[in-house]
Amino acid sequence: MERKKRQEHLKNMVLTAMFAAMVYVLTAFLKIPTHQGYIHVGDGMIYLAAALLPTPYAMAAGALGAGLSDYLSGYPMWVLPTVIIKALTVLAFSRKNEKIIHPRNLIGMAPAVLFCVGGYYLASAVMYGDFGVALADVPTNIIQGVASSVLFVLLGLALDRMEFKKRFIAYKPHKNTKTA
């Protein structure tokens, strides 16, 4: 039994590293600069990690990938807020379904986007000492959240069609969970 747990942990660690790398690439290299930062679709990978990995691993993937992107892209002052915001964003999603795209995860996109927008608004207000200045980035953060949600849905539907969770994640139905 101990060996099986170690193998599961190792598999989750490898998947966490892969997701962190994908978050980093989609955040650092596919971005549109804005006046205070940039718009990216890396959050879509964070949402996908949350739908596939156990929560602590998904939180680590999101925090590491997005935090590393901020640091290496020249925004080190944003690393701490990003690590906190992206890690907590994962909590809006569930992996307790055999499908990636299911009602809980579709609904979860709204609080995830709102949490990111609100989190970055508060972080900006604290950093710049001005709640008015912080409002300037809200529209771009909304665009980023919507674009990331679209990416998540498109990738999730494609992976669901090929039964990705059943084949590669070894999905096991949880007690009291109905599948869609």
- In angstroms, rounded to a whole number, what is the distance separating the alpha carbons of residues 10 and 5? 9
What was the pLDDT predicted at 23? Answer: 98
| Averaged pLDDT score across all residues of the chain | 92
pLDDT 10s digits, 135-176: 998 999 999 999 999 999 999 999 999 999 988 886 666 565
User: What is the CB-side half-sphere exposure of residue 55 using CA atoms within 13 A?
Assistant: 8
pLDDT 10s digits, 85-129: 999 999 999 999 999 999 999 999 999 999 999 999 999 999 999
Domain ranges of the chain: 2-169
- In angstroms, rounded to a whole number, what is the distance separating the alpha carbons of residues 98 and 25? 27
The 10 Å Cβ neighbour count of residue 138 is 14
What was the pLDDT predicted at 33? Answer: 85
What was the pLDDT predicted at 175? Answer: 60
> Full-prediction pTM beyond 0.85?
yes
pLDDT grade for 31, boundaries at 50, 70 and 90: confident
Pick the CATH number of 2-169 from 1.10.1760.20, 3.30.200.20, 3.40.50.920, 1.10.287.310: 1.10.1760.20
